[in-house]
Structure 1
Amino acid sequence: MTQLSINTTQNVNINFTAATIGDRILAYLLDFLVKAAYVIVTYYIFFYALGINKLLDSMDNWSKISVLVLFYLPVAFYSLIFESLLEGQTLGKRLLKIKVVKIDGYQASFGDYIMRWLFRVIDVSFSSGIVGLISIIASEKSQRLGDMAGGTSVITLKNNININHTILEEIDVSYVPTYPLVIKLNDNDARIIKETFNNARTHRDYQMISKLKMKIEDVTGIRNQSGNDEDFIKTILKDYNYYTQKM
């Protein structure tokens, strides 16, 4: 699976896993079923049950087209509407637990969703999905053309969670904390620190560990007493767990 490294507003890298092509295609098919159901239900309820088809018979061609376009606009704007309302997810994406995110760490904006929606014409509609599929395969960050234009990508939220993926740390009942000022952090800070630290250790990115240590010192006012950056960050995480569990 493709790994995406996203730089957050705290200048810290977080790794996400890009959604698989299979998940994206299945989400598209689920969304297609939702749109098809809307068309069928609308057609029978409005045009037969309410007799709007009889009203259309008395209209000129341009008026008929206008009414039909009005009824089926939600189908055309489906992905734009839902991605905007559900913060990067359509109903299909939500069921498959995948989501549109900005590759610079910010929340995708309405303008970003518009770019993705506009390029669906090229990625999906005119090419039957071939252009989008080739773009995703060829792109380093699994992006179709709409993602490239909007600066977005699609990630999976189906991560296997264990203690290493949470802010929790195993601490002994006799543990004595070192840095009381660690309470200046919040749960999101602790999560970012742990994810970044674990990733940096895995890739032996000691420069990132040093930057992370300096960022913690800047935010909290704490100064490293151990002399070792890794030991310092480990202690910060344990201290945070110690104090937050006591609250």
Structure 2
Amino acid sequence: MATSQEARLNVDVFGERIVAQIVDGIIQVVLAFGLLIGLTGVAGAAAEASESVASGIGLFGLLVAFAAMFFYNAGLEYYWDGQTVGKRLMGIKVVDESGDAASFGQTIVRNIPAVFNLGIFSVFAALLTMALSDKTQRIFDVLASTIVVEKASGAEPEHSTDTSWGSDADQSTQF
């Protein structure tokens, strides 16, 4: 039986999730590209000294890029009230199935596919499972017991931090 909070959660956010993923994907590609360009310059300089050092720097760069892409999602979803930049723009957030804040472990589990991206297969698998799910969940949302809802439709997370740029008290000190 659904609690009153579960009944208020609006999971009809299929289109918003797609747009949010596109926005987040663009940001992740730009971040990864920037990291790789920076490390390529370092690797090029190191190549003059040693090819093995340059190869090590290149491998390190790939690992850093994958980690950045993974923790972009998981870290932001945990520390930014269940939202990434794309989710925030679209007015949606990740919560656990009861509507409470998703734990850090849940955000890690639901973002495992970011590490093992299999290209278009991953996209089609995610879209198919979302379309077949009554809560618009991907496979890893089911495994993590998370859902994506409209931001206004859930309770505020317990670990919420103030992400605004000012409060009412700060307004009197602004120019």
Q: TM-score, normalization: structure 2? A: 0.71
Unaligned runs of 5+ in 2: 157-175
Q: Residues 43-192 of structure 1 correspond to what in structure 2 (within 5 A)?
A: 43-48=36-41, 51-56=42-47, 58-60=50-52, 63-72=56-65, 73-120=67-114, 125=118, 127-157=121-151
Shift of 1:120: 4.7
Shift of 1:20: 2.4
**Amino acid in the other structure paired with 2:45:** K
Q: TM-score, normalization: structure 1? A: 0.52
Unaligned runs of 5+ in 1: 160-187, 189-247
Mapped partners of 2:35, 2:114: distance in 1: 24
Q: Is the 8 A contact 1:83 1:90 kept in 2?
A: yes
Mapped partners of 2:2, 2:115: distance in 1: 28
Q: Sequence identity, in percent? A: 25
**1:203-240 CA-partner distances (Å, limit 9, x unpaired):** xxxxxxxxxxxxxxxxxxxxxxxxxxxxxxxxxxxxxx
Assess, with a 3 A threshold, how the Cα gap between structure 1 residues 13 and 128 changes in structure 2: closer, same or farther: closer
**1:10-53 CA-partner distances (Å, limit 9, x unpaired):** xx6541211422211111110111112213333444534xx442
Assess, with a 3 A threshold, how the Cα gap between structure 1 residues 59 and 77 changes in structure 2: closer, same or farther: farther
Shift of 1:110: 0.8
Q: Helix, strand or coil for the counterpart of 1:100? A: strand
Q: Is the 8 A contact 2:43 2:58 kept in 1?
A: no
1:39 to 32, 43, 67: 32
Mapped partners of 2:128, 2:17: distance in 1: 13
CA RMSD of aligned residues (A): 2.8
Mapped partners of 1:121, 1:6: distance in 2: 33
Q: Does residue 3 of structure 2 align to residue 7 of structure 1? A: yes
Shift of 1:63: 1.6
Assess, with a 3 A threshold, how the Cα gap between structure 1 residues 25 and 125 changes in structure 2: closer, same or farther: farther
Mapped partners of 1:46, 1:66: distance in 2: 10
Q: Does residue 16 of structure 2 align to residue 23 of structure 1? A: yes
Corresponding residue pairs, total: 150
89-98 vs 76-85, which deviates more?
Answer: 76-85
**Amino acid in the other structure paired with 1:29:** I
Mapped partners of 2:63, 2:102: distance in 1: 28
**1:158-181 CA-partner distances (Å, limit 9, x unpaired):** 67xxxxxxxxxxxxxxxxxxxxxx
Assess, with a 3 A threshold, how the Cα gap between structure 1 residues 69 and 136 changes in structure 2: closer, same or farther: same
**Amino acid in the other structure paired with 1:54:** A
Shift of 1:121: 5.8
